[in-house]
Amino acid sequence: MLTDNETRAGPATIRDVAARAGVSHMTVSRVMNGDARVRPETRAAVQSAIRELRYTPNSVARALSKGVHHRLALLHRFPNLGTQGEFLVHLLAAARDHHVDLAVLRVSSALEDGAVVNELRDTNVRAVILAAPLAHDTELVSMLREQGIALVAVGAARAEMTIASVRIDDQAAAASATRHLIALGHRRIGFIKGDPAHASTMLRLNGYREALEEARLPFDPDLIASGAYTYRSGLDAAEQLLGLPGRPSAIFASNDDMAAATMAVAHRQGLVVPSQLSVCGFDDTEIATTIWPALTTVRQPIQQITAAAIDLAVRQLAGDASAGAIQQVFEHSVVSRESDGPPASGNGDDSEAGRG
């Protein structure tokens, strides 16, 4: 469910309109094209469904028949693009469904902003999907706007952001995952933060703290380790947490790569997951089900998020100015797999018990 003025999990399609009106999608198409042969009562039903679902026709696809071809680009700063397989597959599929081309460009640092914007201009890219944290690069956003390029942000957003965005509520999601571990009986829960350049880092930490406060558990700064959303940083953070005199009985890492690294450190230290250490990640990327044991994690509805991102970009290209300010927030879920369980000791503090 969305928490803004959009009421669907994704953009309405012509088939959704047809189902609501009780007609075929071809009839909907005839109504939209002004076919006088459609009966008045049928036309009224279709028009009512369009209004109720806030359906926006794919004007870009129509433009193709007139020789107009649109190019979009994904700008990213992912440490490892290979870990974003599901995201890229769905984003490319959504672009294909809208009959637009999608280029993928990495912006390694702010020093590359000007060169990237020039490349977008020279290749006639008219809309850009900004993967986190690029939407918070104010200079990049300003340069893109000066070129008249439509913008959509994917991922956590700071309150001051004024461009269209699609995301989950990162704070609420992290609170849900922490509550899940608390419900299992854990009381000392370590937390691995992400890259400080990402808005999601503080939001997820806030969610962790929110759940602790709800359960009247103390916040212990020693249980917080810094990461960077990379596997390598996860190794270092897990070593820090598992080296504490009173080590945690569970560790919640801010993404799946760092959670996988945590499990690797646990294995190396002779700790059995989950009987001696529970581990939870975030994102439900491919690695969550390819490591052993399979990772408990927070799932984002990637297919819906990517479809909405492309749709908002396309709507802006079609002249829908309101699409440039829409903030869509999708539901998350906690997926419990084999990496979590009750703590070994009754109070959730398994500091030295059960080491191999």
Q: What is the pLDDT of residue 37?
A: 77
Read off the pLDDT of residues 186-232 as tens digits, 9 standing for 90 and up: 999 999 999 998 999 999 999 999 999 999 999 999 999 999 999 99
**Residue ranges of the chain that CATH labels 3.40.50.2300:** 67-167+300-333, 170-299
Q: What is the pLDDT of residue 160?
A: 65
Count how many Cα atoms sit within 13 Å of the Cα of residue 285 in the half-sphere of its side chain: 20
Length of the chain measured in residues: 356
The mean pLDDT of the chain is: 87
Q: What is the pLDDT of residue 347?
A: 46
**Residue ranges of the chain that CATH labels 1.10.260.40:** 14-55
Q: What is the pLDDT of residue 33?
A: 61
Please count the helices (runs of H) and the strands (runs of E) in the chain. Answer: 12, 12
| Segments in the chain below pLDDT 50 | 1-8, 59-68, 347, 350-356
Q: What is the pLDDT of residue 38?
A: 80
- Architecture label for domain 14-55: Orthogonal Bundle (1.10)
> Which helix or strand (DSSP H or E) is residue 139 part of?
helix 138-146
Q: What is the pLDDT of residue 109?
A: 87
Indicate the pairing of strand 297-299 with strand 333-335.
antiparallel
* Residue carrying the six token digits 């503090």: 349
Contacts of 48 (CB under 8 A, 6+ apart): 21
Contacts of 96 (CB under 8 A, 6+ apart): none
CA-wise closest residue to 281 among 302, 294, 262, 297: 297
Q: What is the pLDDT of residue 65?
A: 45
The single-letter DSSP state of residue 334 is E
* Cα–Cα distance for residue pair 292/307, rounded to 1 Å: 31
Q: What is the pLDDT of residue 57?
A: 58
Does the domain made of 170-299 have the CATH classification 3.40.50.2300?
A: yes
- CATH (residue range 67-167+300-333): 3.40.50.2300
Read off the pLDDT of residues 224-238 as tens digits, 9 standing for 90 and up: 999 999 999 999 999
